[in-house]
Homo-oligomer: A and B are copies of this chain.
Amino acid sequence: MSIHTPLCELLGIEHPVLLAPMAGVSGGALAAAVSWAGGLGLIGGGYGDADWLEREFNAAGDARIGAGLITWSLARRPHLLDLVLDRAPAALMLSFGDYQPFLSRIRDEQTKFIVQVQTLNQAREAMDAGVDAIVAQGTEAGGHGGTRATLPFVPAVVDIVKEIPVIAAGGIADGRGLAAALALGASGVLCGTGFFASDESLASDNAKLTAVCGNGDDTERSSVFDIARGLDWPPDWNIRAMRNSFTRRWREDIDGLVRNLPEEQARFNAAWAADETDITAVIVGEAADLIKTREPAQATLHRMISQAEDHLRRIGRLVKPITKDRDIE
């Protein structure tokens, strides 16, 4: 069996599942694994490092993959757009910022252009810009995001953008989430946390273990990790990650973190080098509840499809025809 939606047609894929371009985690191997399994892998260009991008595109080998970049960061390194487009990605996804300056350059290429949104106004802008697909991202997503939650946000975006395929993101890591997203009117899903602990993911061993052992209650949004990493994110978005001793120390004292920045950055960087996840950022979302093991990405994706099919059949059986007697009434 398979689940076929207009998004599958648009992107030329078998299953309506995209790998979220997790910065530094969704490398070429993971993107390729998701694509070979029938979805579409997007490598996570993040803040943009030409060497990293070249290496990870190479690591994807012959796989047909796409890429995702952080828009406000791309604006500071616009040459990276050419680097990415020269690789002829199946799709380019931009998130967090103003993509208007890049529209005409992107439109010169064959790549499908996907924009991720966190508000209804952003969805309207993306529709007006003529994007090929829109990711409606809920606040339960790992990494950067806004305040809306996936379940009510997706149908509201669908009502606005109508015929443009909407991809649900945030909180989706198994077949139940995929089935729910389709029920909400989405044409597919974008999954980060679900693939974070994949064998092919570039996350560290301890980060994968922390994510698998943790749960959604243990994640929260804050700016702590952005400040510690010296990233000047616009105030519209902050980052969801696992709570740990570092976030507990600074969560309620951002001013204090800023005052102690050199020492705290050094401590954070040392912990990163040592893979100490009680201090570094394990960037997963509430779907941490639903990831139970390290495994190849293909196993995750195929289980997701098969579970979604099972759930769609199961809930289909809940719909009962009215009996003859009632029809006669």
Chain A contacts to B: CB under 8 angstroms: 1-5, 119-121, 138-140, 147-153, 155-156, 159, 170-174, 176-177, 179-185, 215-217, 220, 285-287, 289-290, 309, 311-313, 315-316, 318-322
Contacts and interface: CB of A to CB of B under 8 A. Distances in A.
A8 B150 CA distance: 27
B315 A312 contact: yes
B152 A286 contact: yes
B318 A156 contact: no
B289 A155 contact: yes
Contacts of A315: 179, 182-183, 312
B177 A155 contact: yes
A149 B147 contact: no
B152 A287 contact: yes
B151 A172 contact: yes
Given A180-B184, A312-B183, A151 B156 contact: no
Contacts of A309: 319
Instruction: Give the residue among A150, A155, A287 with the most B Cβ atoms within 10 A.
Output: A155
22 contacts: A2-B322, A3-B318, A3-B319, A4-B318, A120-B215, A140-B151, A149-B149, A149-B151, A149-B286, A150-B151, A151-B170, A151-B180, A152-B177, A152-B290, A155-B290, A156-B289, A156-B290, A176-B184, A183-B311, A312-B318, A313-B319, A316-B316
Given A152-B216, A312-B318, 16 more contacts: A2-B319, A120-B217, A140-B149, A140-B151, A149-B151, A149-B286, A152-B172, A152-B286, A152-B287, A153-B216, A156-B216, A176-B183, A180-B184, A182-B183, A182-B315, A313-B316
A277 B311 CA distance: 42
Nearest to A118: B217
Nearest to A175: B183
The 6 closest A-B pairs by CB, nearest first: A152-B171, A156-B289, A179-B183, A140-B149, A180-B180, A152-B286
